[in-house]
Structure 1
Amino acid sequence: MQPIRVWLTPPGPNAWKVVFLLEELGVPYEVKSIRFADVKKRPMIDVNPNGRVPAIEDPNTNLTLWESGAIITYLIEQYDTRHTLTYTSLADRHHLNQWLHFQMSGQGPYYGTSGWFIHLHPETLPSAIDRYTKQVTRVLGVLEGWLAEDGREWLVGDKMTYADLAWVPWNDRVDTVLVGVPEPEKLDAFPNVKAWHKRMTSRASWRRCMELRARLMDEQGLMPNGMPKGTMPEGVTSYSDYVAKVDAGEDPVFQQ
């Protein structure tokens, strides 16, 4: 089997859903790590015209695919032939798909928007911050209630599946999308979610993902928050300034 190429930018959560899945399945892959400033440029837009990561190129099927949910569905269908991370019954298959769609439509957008208004928006908008942090806690509450019922350990059935896996990268950023919640306490209000999250992040496959992320971040000269290391150039005083310049087609140079 030839390795699947995964296009990603190291800081963002979405691509790590794909890498996490490939690690769990033991499918060979290679990473094409690009800088945030290059996602709207060639060759990235030749792979994904939307200029977003992740995207994959699978030489085994000659398929190029983007959108993390679609990629997960494809990888499971094509490579989880032993049903390690899925089920075969009608109800279970659709319940897995249900939780994947909830992650794509609920968790990812709300967590990301909350993080934007807390950290990146040029002005502080308390009403927006309040709106989206409440949505984050609402989504966590849905997870908490589901896992608490009958002492569930996993989202569907009696084993870890791709549905559980898809939620982890964004869930691992909760401390950055909830106001005033320090890192060690980020899931204390949701004990069942906290226990489930620990089961997931204790897996060797997740540790390998985070080790790879740290190496790729270092290769690009990035700090854990995604900002380049070094002295900020003129006109850049915050991450929102940096994002605005990148969105405007500039590439701020940080002095090392």
Structure 2
Amino acid sequence: MSHGKQFTLYTHVGGPNGWKVAILLEELGLTYESIYLDFQKNEQKQSPHVDYNPNGRIPTLIDHKNGDFVLWESNAILLYLVDKYDTEKRFTVTDENQKHIVNQWLFFQASGQGPYFGQAFWFMFYHPEKVPSAVERYQKEAQRVFSVLDGVLAKSPSGWLVGDKLTIADLSFITWNRAAISTILKEFEGGEVEKKFPAFYAWHEKLNNRTAVKKLQDVQASLKK
């Protein structure tokens, strides 16, 4: 298989998890081609994507320089990329205990942030019937996740989740946080996220202002036009 770019990333224009992987690819200076699947046509559950990813969800990454190695689940992909390609340890740690703390946050993001925020979006915008109790439940869960992050970050001298540096633990939260601030909690908190969760918001803005993140925000905006 001959490819001009090292990676193929199966993703989606609006899906936060795919953009999370793209951010790390950009940060590491790795070349990749993004294939944006059309969920309205159910392309994520059809060939060729489902041949690589039996779960039929995005993102899916193919590493053409590693024998077309295929990996899915966004945080598993982040771990793979730093383990194999972050040779300068820019986005990971070397201390054994801190490695486990990075994993802790990746699990929290995957089990706490992503599913709850995703359910909030579903019941707010896509569920065929209005279920106010479900909307309130997941809005409150989003608020709880922000509160957890805010409390930890407020005590962090560096302003990062693990040690004194930016890691994939921080990067893993960017895209879902952005979506939640602009939609889920905008109504629920009345636009008070910055005041209610100041340490969280400062961290979020620091991440949002990274060159790679801003570049991909522009790419995403252009694709949505």
Does the pair score TM above 0.5?
Answer: yes
Whole-Å separation in 1 of the counterparts to 2:24 and 2:192: 27
Correspondence for 1:126 among 121, 126, 132: 132
Report the residue type matching 1:193 in the other structure.
Answer: F
Structure 1 position 182, deviation (Å): 7.7
More helix by share: 2
Contact 1:118 1:179 in 2 (8 A): no
Instruction: Look up the SS of the partner of 1:124 in the other structure.
Output: coil
Q: 1:54 aligns with which of 48, 59, 70?
A: 59
Displacement of 1:183 in angstroms is 8.6
Alpha-carbon distance in 2 for matches of 1:85, 1:69? 13
1:60 counterpart SS class? helix
> Aligned match of 1:207 in 199, 214, 217?
214
Aligned length: 218
Percent identity, aligned pairs only? 43
Query: Matches of residues 118-197 of structure 1 in structure 2 within 5 Å?
Result: 118-174=124-180, 175-178=182-185, 180-181=187-188, 185-197=192-204
- The alignment's TM-score, normalised by the length of structure 1, stands at 0.81
Helix, strand or coil at the partner of 2:164: coil
Matched to 1:11, the amino acid is: G
Other structure's SS at 1:6 match = strand
The superposition leaves residues 41-99 of structure 1 with CA deviations (integer Å, 9 ceiling, x where unpaired) of 11111121111110011011121111101111111111011100011111111101110
Structure 1 unaligned regions, length at least 5: 219-256
SS of equivalent to 1:52: coil
Alignment of 1:1-256 (within 5 A): 2-36=5-39, 37=41, 38-62=43-67, 63-174=69-180, 175-178=182-185, 180-181=187-188, 185-218=192-225
Task: Indicate the SS of the match to 2:173.
Answer: helix
| Structure 2 counterpart of 1:12, one-letter code | G
Larger radius of gyration: 1
Q: Secondary structure at the match of 2:104?
A: helix
Residue ranges of structure 2 left out of the alignment (5+ in a row)? none
Query: What is the CA–CA distance in structure 2 between the aligned matches of 1:182 and 1:145, rounded to whole Å?
Result: 18
Q: CA deviation at 1:211?
A: 1.6
